[in-house]
Amino acid sequence: MKRNSLRVLTIPILGVGLMLSEQQAHADNSLGQRDNLDANITARQKAEVSIPPGFIEGSTMKGILRNSFFDRNNHHTPDGRDQREWVQGGWLSFRSGYTDTPVGFGFDVHSFYALKLDGGGGHGGAGLMPLDSTGKPESSYSNIGGALKMRGFDSLVQAGDQLLENPVIASGVSRMFPQTYRGVTIKNYSVDDLTLDAGWVDSTRLRNQSGESHLKTSYGSRNKAGVMADRNSSHMNWVGGSYSIPKSATVTAYAGNLRDIWNQYYLAGSYPFPVAEDITLTPYLHFYDTRDQGSSKLGRIDNQTYTSGLTLAGKGQSLSLGFQKVDGNTPFDYVIQNDGTYLYLNNSQQYADFNGPGEQSWKVQYQTSLAFINAPDFKLSTSYTRGKADLTRVNPNSKGYGYIYNPDGKHARHWERDISLRYEVPDGQAKGTSVTLRWAMHRSGKGYTAPGNTRGNADADEYRIIVDYPFTLF
């Protein structure tokens, strides 16, 4: 992904998403399954450790204005409702420098405001705005948050409201503003090319929310009889690291504990092979093992998920082929709203994650700039993913996942096609302004229901238009 690691929180307030299948293993590409809302947290934090001291001299104030339109046409939902919202918003981020002391101190503050332009007529629920008690989008929402930060001994410690990015917990950014977490994190860079990471959080501010919420999972909900499970967790902690040699191998390992719900382990590796001048072939493999833990609020979980593939990249283009397999009687689950923006699953797409019980899927994706037709400031990505799950494997009495059981779902098939086009102004007063168009088409066969059944049989077309204007105050 081509991103400036010093761009700090120029979190381009967009709403886009795609998939990249390279060394980083993020489930997105240069067009951003992250909806261009990417602060490149990992690289930016590493850069902060070596910024010269100076609390005032090292300070920055950046922001972005975002106009986002989201329209999901649900073909056969039980209530016949579609989701459509149009929102204007703005994000500001102040990042101080560090004091010139053995342990440098600083702080970060962010704020945002969003105004609903459209979303009435029973078409709310797209996730751009919070909903009121009647299910209608609020007219506006806002937030301000911050974190204390300390650096020293090749380490960076943060305490407070912050963005996260790792394979077991991350800040979802697929709507207007990024999700944040409240807690304490530490990263260490004492060894060249090695990043060590640990943290503890007890709450989250969701991507369309002003206040804090309990941590919970994305899919766990209720049994087949409709009895709701307690999805709330008191806290989550994790430890892990990544060893990445420039232009060589990358190995990543993490372990996370979502209290009284699951333990999740992650292991990944990749290695780029040069096959011609400026062309590389990168095979990769990622593995998750998730098991119930503590009081097992969602019932038994024994899930292994594998994702692997190849990416051929060079000369402004890439072609990726990915394979994914879920081995277990529950879906691959993750912390709520981490979504496809940070899932380290190759086949997590704009609409579907292809992570159902027993699901096997494959994906092909092509990305390119349009320089070959003299339009280098345009980027195009297109992908196709097909999967088959076995929803009969689910225990209908499972406290958290029984609702996914479908007696006709032995061979539950579905597919998704994603197309995205982005233009970014290259220079002038509007330099950096981008316009992104995105279209996702999802279709399902007999026996398939989306996890949670919130989308009916999950036949849908989803359109997004996002305009971002980034700016720097100092």
The reported pLDDT for the residue numbered 124 is 79
Instruction: Report the pLDDT averaged over residues 349-362.
Output: 92
Domain boundary assignment for the chain: 41-472
The listed range with the strongest mean pLDDT (227-231, 243-247, 301-305) is: 301-305
Q: Summarize the confidence of residues 351-378 as an average pLDDT.
A: 92
Cα–Cα dist 332/363, whole Å: 18
- Of 4-18, 171-185, 220-234, 416-430, give the lowest mean pLDDT range: 4-18
Q: Which CATH number fits domain 41-472: 3.40.50.620, 2.60.40.1120, 3.30.1340.30, 2.40.160.10?
A: 2.40.160.10
Per DSSP, the residues of 150-189 read: EEETTEEEEEEEE--BSSS-B---SSSS--EEEEEEEEE-
Q: What is the pLDDT of residue 157?
A: 98
Q: What is the pLDDT of residue 44?
A: 83
Rounded mean pLDDT, 378-401: 94
**pLDDT band at 247, cuts 50/70/90?**
confident
CB neighbours (10 Å) of residue 446?
12
Report the sign of the C-alpha dihedral through residues 41, 44, 48, 50, in that order. Answer: positive
> Chain centroid to CA 377: how far?
25
- Predicted confidence band at 237 (pLDDT cuts at 50, 70, 90)? very high
Confidence of residue 343 (pLDDT cuts 50, 70, 90): low
pLDDT digits (tens, 9 = 90+) for 288-342: 999 999 999 999 999 999 999 999 999 889 999 999 999 999 999 999 887 655 6
pLDDT of residue 221: 87
Q: Which residue has the higher pLDDT, 456 or 147?
A: 147
pLDDT score for 18: 24
Provide the CB-side half-sphere exposure for 114 (13 A, CA): 30
Query: Contact 405/447 with Cβ under 8 angstroms?
Result: no
Which of the four pLDDT bands, split at 50, 70 and 90, describes residue 132? confident
For 46, list phi and psi in degrees, rounded to 5.
-65, -40
Q: For the chain, what is the mean pLDDT?
A: 86
**Model-level pTM?**
0.89
